[in-house]
Amino acid sequence: MQLKPINQQVVAIVGASSGIGRETALQFAKRGAKLVVSTRSEAKIAPLVDEIRGFGGEVTAVVADVTVFEQVKAIADRTVEVYGRLDTWVHCPAIAVYAAFDKTKPEEFKRVIDVGLMGQVYGAMAALPHLKREGRGALIHLSSVLGRRSVPLQSSYCTAKHGMEGFIEAMRVELQHEKIPISVTSVKPAAVNTPLYNNALTRLGVKPASLPPFYEPSLVADAILYVAEHPTRDFLVGDAGRMIDVLQRLSPSLVDFILERVAFRLQRTDQPKSEDGPNNLYEPIPSHDRVEGDFKNLVIPSLTDWLDKNPALKWGALVSTVALAFLAAQAFKTGGQI
């Protein structure tokens, strides 16, 4: 399966007004891709369009609500109308409710599912006919490590991410069966320093957070651009996310034990916020149209992302580690002589 170089691609990015979506749009534009960017508010997408055009990028904006299939379909149709084709579809939107499951209202839970799961489903349904007609392309869905392992106080968000993994896996195999060379990727970040936490509805009494450490949105955008050129099944972003994934595979009960002791405390900041505070559950918030959030002091780099983008070095490092472990074991057995 071969994907076009980014500077030859037409890319649609849904949920581009802030956070990971905004940074991804900027990186694609700087690399020469033609863009269609979308969000649910014209006022929120206009500054991004101006910024991209300011450095010579080619971009078109479409206002759409991802909970309405016809509006999502209009993003894909507009992309083909303006640029003649669609090469890569990147679907980012998500909203969050921080509350215990029994403190979450049914309509709030459903709303998170409508945006975070059904929006992703609608995106794939809208993009696939155009990608099939081209005979290749990439579907990139922004998931989360919480699609592998749920945490307390985010039951609706985790449900959306788990559901996303289910339909992506089924769709991927169906495309393989049809022998249609479309790359389907789930990008799964650990905690990312975006405005999501400013925008979330919370019943914790304070502004919510995520389990540290945090990673910069640019790290996720880098992963998205990488899989847009290199067909990849899953891309976990952040060393912490990979560690959680491994622990979950080894011992879910151990992860239960750890989360029970740290997750309730670490998902709370010391900044008061009531459940009536501004949130974007049903309507966009005028502020927070930026890439980064408020957790810069908790951001760390990630080594394993770089290794995943350089598979030859990754496997070389793995082989070297195994070899060193073997030699160390032999030396231990022979009293220091190999």
Report the chain's C-alpha Rg in angstroms: 21
With tokens 């640029």, the residue in question is 83
Whether 92 and 71 have beta carbons less than 8 Å apart is answered as no
Which two tokens mark 294?
A: 């408020």
Q: In whole angstroms, how far apart are CA 101 and each of 106, 155, 250?
A: 10, 6, 26
Among candidate residues 98, 122, 157, 215, the one labeled active-site is: 157
Ranges of beta strands (E only) in the chain are 10-14, 34-39, 58-63, 88-91, 97-98, 137-142, 182-189, 201-202, 206-208, 234-237, 268-272
Residue 197 annotated to the active site: no
User: φ and ψ at 38, to 5 degrees?
Assistant: -140, 145
* Spatial separation of the C-alpha atoms in residues 109 and 114, rounded to whole Å: 9
Whether 28 and 11 have beta carbons less than 8 Å apart is answered as yes
Catalytic residues: 157
